[in-house]
Structure 1
Amino acid sequence: MSEATPTTVPATPTPGPGGPGGEARAAILDRIRQALQDGPTPDPVERTYRRTSEAAPGDVVEQLVDRLVDYKAGVHREDLSTVADRVADLLGEGARYVVPPGLDPAWLPGDGQGRVRVTEPTTADAGALGVRELDGMDAVVTGSTVSCSETGTIFLTGRPEEGRRAISLVPDHHVCIVPLDTVVELFPEALARVEPTAAITMISGPSATSDIELERVEGVHGPRRLDVILLDR
């Protein structure tokens, strides 16, 4: 039996007709554009749904509170002078918790009462916590991008004060800080505040699902406990 000749594979793609950004890629995209130009004109899409809200800001916040409470989330109203104390109360004594690198330190308590804060690195390849390490954390504290009161949905988009998706999904307790000036009523309004290419995590209450007998089970796909701090800043 003859031995197989080993095949050498380049470590990284090389530029050129077959590589990323090469002539082949450009030719394919040009053909797609040409095909779209030669196709029929699409029918106009009527957008009769509401895209802007006329509700008062206070009413919008109250609607968000109503939705979050209905979803079994804890809701707390604080200002800049009390937010750190509230976070400390929610974390409890001796908690190990993770925070994203860009979260405002003024929103966080000190390391008293045995609490241990672990700050994520600014880049994923610089010692980011693995799944097992995140699972060993008691909680995570993050900010948020925008919240939609109509559906009770909080948007996280991976900004520095929110961190990568894993840190908001693996720990069992999520403390999410929602500034009042980021609360809108309608979904189109919320999407308008989100970068189109962002990796969006939408949170509507603690993670929950139902089994075949419709028994509610919490914490299957994310944090079992969600506390939302509405921050007047």
Structure 2
Amino acid sequence: MSSKDIVLGRVRRALAGAPADTTPYEQAIARAYVREHGRRTTEQTVDLLAEHLADYRAHVHRTDAAGLAGLIARLLTDRGARRVLVPAGLPPQWPAAVDATRVEDRPDATHDDLDSVDSVVTGCALAIAETGTIVLDAGPAQGRRRITLVPDHHVCVIRAPGQVVASLPQALERLVPTRPLTWISGPSATSDIELQRVEGVHGPRRLDVVLLDDAG
């Protein structure tokens, strides 16, 4: 018997005499909290996201569909990226101008294989303006979670305003809780006891966020 079996057995015994609760989940807990802080236009919501991303030391860029491929190529060139990982489901026109070796996202790739990648380009599930948070859910344009945690440079494309929500409650309504969710607020960073900030400890050292105008 494993430790897990022991713990779950204790939980079952503790709940054995508890009355059954047939209240639907969405009604079981009162959710009267504020769903959005303040009133903003769609454009103001996107601007707030950009502001908070910049506060977290992400590098924010804006473009339309016509300029996206060139911008991604420039960002990778500026980083000197020679090996770039591109998820299989990423729209092919996004990295069309990239002049670097494309690395396939293989299930059997080791951490050393991923560490040899200079940059990764992905989409996202959505982004939250009030917190400056990007959420990945391993969708086709994002690939598996680890490909955005090991390489040192991450270029993340957000369709704006389509993938931008104002608040966390609005985000949770659109996310599937059983998917592997990664919540990103700026490049990976931590501080030591003297409050010296160190970036790139458990994720990318540099995060380039591209706000792709999809208003049309």
The answer (yes or no) to whether the contact 2:188–2:199 under 8 Å persists in 1 is yes
Cross-structure match for 1:60: 45
Cross-structure match for 1:104: 91
CA RMSD of aligned residues (A): 2.6
Among 215, 227, 232, the alignment partner of 2:196 is 215
Separation in 1, partners of 2:81, 2:57: 25
TM-score, length of structure 2 as denominator length: 0.83
The 5 Å alignment of 1:146-165 reads 146-165=126-145
Question: Please, which runs of 5 or more residues in structure 2 have no aligned partner?
Answer: 1-10
Q: Is 1:144 aligned with 2:124?
A: yes
The answer (yes or no) to whether the contact 1:149–1:184 under 8 Å persists in 2 is yes
Highest CA radius of gyration, 1 or 2? 1
Q: Deviations over 1:111-161 (max 9, x none)?
A: 53xx1111324xx3xxx4211011011100010001001000000011111
The one-letter code of the counterpart of 2:141 is E
The answer (yes or no) to whether the contact 2:130–2:167 under 8 Å persists in 1 is yes
Aligned length: 198
Q: Is 1:47 aligned with 2:31?
A: yes
The answer (yes or no) to whether the contact 1:87–1:109 under 8 Å persists in 2 is no
Among 72, 77, 83, the alignment partner of 1:87 is 72
Question: Please, which runs of 5 or more residues in structure 1 have no aligned partner?
Answer: 1-28
The answer (yes or no) to whether the contact 2:129–2:166 under 8 Å persists in 1 is yes
Cross-structure match for 2:169: 188
The answer (yes or no) to whether the contact 2:81–2:119 under 8 Å persists in 1 is no
User: 1:105 is paired with a residue of what secondary structure?
Assistant: coil
Separation in 1, partners of 2:61, 2:96: 16
Deviation at 1:110, TM superposition (A): 3.5
The answer (yes or no) to whether the contact 2:148–2:204 under 8 Å persists in 1 is yes
Structure 1 ranges of 4+ moved more than 6 A = 29-34
The percent identity for this pair of structures is: 47
Deviation at 1:194, TM superposition (A): 0.8
Deviation at 1:47, TM superposition (A): 2.3
Alpha carbons of structure 1 residues 32 and 108: separation in structure 2 relative to 1, 3 Å: farther
Alpha carbons of structure 1 residues 30 and 107: separation in structure 2 relative to 1, 3 Å: same
Greater mean alpha carbon deviation, residues 65-74 or residues 89-98: 89-98
The one-letter code of the counterpart of 1:198 is R
The one-letter code of the counterpart of 2:83 is R
Deviation at 1:50, TM superposition (A): 1.9
Deviation at 1:51, TM superposition (A): 2.5
Deviation at 1:169, TM superposition (A): 0.3
Q: Is 1:202 aligned with 2:183?
A: yes
Among 47, 70, 80, the alignment partner of 2:55 is 70
Cross-structure match for 2:4: none
User: 2:176 is paired with a residue of what secondary structure?
Assistant: coil
